[in-house]
Chain A
Amino acid sequence: MRHLFIIVACFFSLCLIAQDNTRYTTDFSNRYVDNGLLRFQGNLAFGAPLTRKATNMYFAGDVDYYVKGNVSVNGGIFYFAGEYGGKDVFKQNNSLFAGFSYHFPTDNHLDPYIGIQPGVALSQLNSESPLFVNDVELSSFKATVNPLFSINAGMNFFANKYFNVFVNVKYQRGKHFSDIPAQSLEELKLTLGLGYMLWTGKKYFNFRKPDIE
């Protein structure tokens, strides 16, 4: 699973470099992305903790608003749905992020980007995990709010007027603090699926970009 993430990350890095090199040879007149675009999505996401063997599942959602100058302002939420193949370390592992992305200019409907998102985790250890057998009498296993830092990279493909497909890889770093030793929240999260968009702003009509069908 981890190798898959690395391959996907390398692939997108190369795509980004390739896209960036084209900027000096084209005028991006066919670029789909423009300011005023509001993109949002709700999908399932997978997480691979980097300090233990497991796969986390999340219900994920995010919103991106494109402003001038290849930049978007965005926010995202990951609601923890469960852990598989591990020791059920967390009962709750939800997170909330807000930040910015830089979108590399292209001359088509592809939209590669990188971004930074600080965030917070609302997390709670699972008292029934075999990892905490010795801590059951010691800890109250309460939910706590913990700082996170994340960087992400991905690609959107704007397929038609209202729909896009996307893939996003996020690396997050942080720790869960409670009344027993801190647990790492370091994780790679992969989200992919169908997204939606609306064109907002005065120059658009009916939430659509006029010349795009």
Chain B
Amino acid sequence: MKKVFLITCSLFFTFCAIGQKGEGDQKKKEKKDKPVEVGQFQLGMRSTVSLFDHQAYPGLGYGAQFRLRPSKRLNTEWYLDYIKTDISGLGQRETAHIGWSVMFYPFNAEVKKGSITPYIIGGHCFDYAKVTSNSYFVPLSTSPIQNSVKRWSTAVQMGMGANFYISDKVDLSLSGQYMSHIGNELHVDVLNHHGEEVGYDDAGENHLIINEEPSKVLEGHLLLTLSMNIRIADFSK
């Protein structure tokens, strides 16, 4: 009985040892076979078009970003955008975004020349907006007047895009994201020289009146971004 117990124990510990060894080998193999995409660091430039805000004025912006990839199917993007929007020739809106997004590659995630990797993107940003009217005279005034309102808010954004790898190191990315602002709304009204509200595109003697109002709905806009990114480091190596 004692012998059987000893044999059983020795076999058990032998199997444990083999199991440990196998697990160790597996871990080593996994470490060795870590996807090449993990740890890649990219730097990029971006151009952004802002469309379909609640008052439908398109804007153009530029910015920069870096991307740090924690796993094969996940990437992170940290960006800065500066956008200027023409408001019917009567004023301008300046918008700055600083934020981050996480990118998930559900299909192809391979980083190599010629590969197209579609992704779902979502994230968060801090948003600075300033709306300024052009200068205008009001009756009995001797100097021009300019209205300006600014605000800080936060925003969330979500959308999809794709990377196209021009080479093993460089990709071109196009994404579309809808950004919703959590904060007050900057609303513009167009007034004529009698102080009456008129249509947005009714240019001439009109000027802008800008109000910051508590938002009844989530103010948002679509951002189309074209960016070029180059891999400059690989932190997994």
Q: Which residues of A contact B (CB under 8 A)?
A: 67-71, 73, 98-100, 102, 116-120, 137-140, 146-149, 173-175, 177, 179-182
Known A-B contacts A100-B228, A181-B90, A182-B86; A71 and B166 likewise in contact (beta carbons under 8 Å): yes
Residues of A within 8 A of B167 (CB): 67-71
**Distance A179 CA – B63 CA, assembled complex (angstroms):** 24
Q: Quick one: given A70-B167, A174-B60, are A147 and B82 in contact (CB under 8 Å)? A: yes
A147 to B136, CA, bound (A): 25
Q: Which residues of B contact A173 (CB under 8 A)?
A: 60
Contact of B62 with A149 in the complex, beta carbons under 8 Å: yes
Cβ proximity bits B195-237 to A, threshold 8 Å, 1 near / 0 not: 0000000000000000000000000000000101010000000
Whether the pair A182, B45 counts as a contact (CB closer than 8 A) is no
In the complex, 17 of the A-B residue pairs with CB atoms within 8 angstroms, ordered by the A residue number, are A67-B169, A68-B167, A68-B168, A70-B166, A71-B167, A73-B230, A100-B45, A100-B228, A138-B135, A138-B144, A147-B47, A147-B60, A148-B62, A175-B84, A177-B92, A179-B135, A182-B89
Bound: A181/B62 CA distance, A:
21
Q: Mark B126-142, 1 if CB is under 8 A from A, else 0.
A: 00000010111100000
Count of chain B residues with a beta carbon within 8 Å of a chain A beta carbon: 31
Q: Which chain B residues (36-87) contact chain A, with CB distance < 8 Å? A: 45-47, 60-63, 82-84, 86
Report the minimal beta-carbon distance from A187 to chain B, rounded to whole angstroms.
14
A175 touches B169 (CB 8 A): no
User: A67 to B170, Cβ gap below 8 A?
Assistant: yes
Q: Considering the complex, which residues of chain B in the window 131-161 have a beta carbon less than 8 Å from any beta carbon of chain A?
A: 132, 134-137, 144, 146
- Bound Cα distance A173, B90 (Å): 20
B46 touching A118, Cβ below 8 Å: yes
* Main DSSP-derived SS at the B contact region: strand
Complex CA gap A99/B83 in Å reads 18
- Our pick among B132, B134, B228 for the contact of A99 (Cβ within 8 Å) is B228
B228 touches A147 (CB 8 A): no
Whole-angstrom distance between the alpha carbons of A179 and B47 in the complex? 24
Residues from chain A with a CB closer than 8 A to the CB of B62 are 118-120, 147-149
Q: Which of B45, B134, B170 contacts A179 (CB 8 A)?
A: B134
Q: Is the CB of B86 within 8 A of A116?
A: no
Give the docked Cα–Cα distance between A137 and B183 (Å): 37
With A68-B168, A69-B167, A71-B170 as contacts: A118 and B134 at CB distance below 8 Å:
no
- The answer, yes or no, to whether B113 is at the interface (CB within 8 Å) is yes
Choose one: B83, B137, B172, B226; the contact of A147 (CB below 8 Å).
B83
Residues of B within 8 A of A138 (CB): 134-137, 144
B231: nearest chain-A partner, CB-CB: A67
A177 CA to B132 CA, complexed, in Å = 10
Taking a contact as CB atoms under 8 Å apart, the answer to whether A67 and B90 are in contact is no
Residue of B nearest to A135 (CB): B135
Q: Are B144 and A147 within 8 A (Cβ)?
A: no
B113 & A180 in contact (Cβ 8 Å cutoff): no
In the bound complex, residues from chain B placing their C-beta under 8 Å from that of A69 are 113, 166-170
| Most B Cβ at <10 Å: residue of A71, A118, A119, A146 | A118
Contact status A67-B84, CB under 8 Å: no
Measured between beta carbons, the chain A residues less than 8 angstroms from B168 are 68-69
Given A67-B169, A138-B135, 19 other A-B contacts at CB below 8 A? A67-B170, A67-B230, A69-B113, A69-B167, A70-B166, A100-B170, A117-B45, A118-B63, A139-B135, A147-B47, A147-B60, A149-B47, A149-B60, A173-B60, A177-B84, A179-B144, A179-B146, A182-B86, A182-B92
Nearest to B170 among chain A residues (CB) is A71
A68 touches B169 (CB 8 A): yes
Indicate with 1 or 0, residue by residue over B77-111, a CB within 8 angstroms of chain A CB atoms.
00000111010011010000000000000000000
Cβ of A73 to closest chain B Cβ, rounded Å: 6
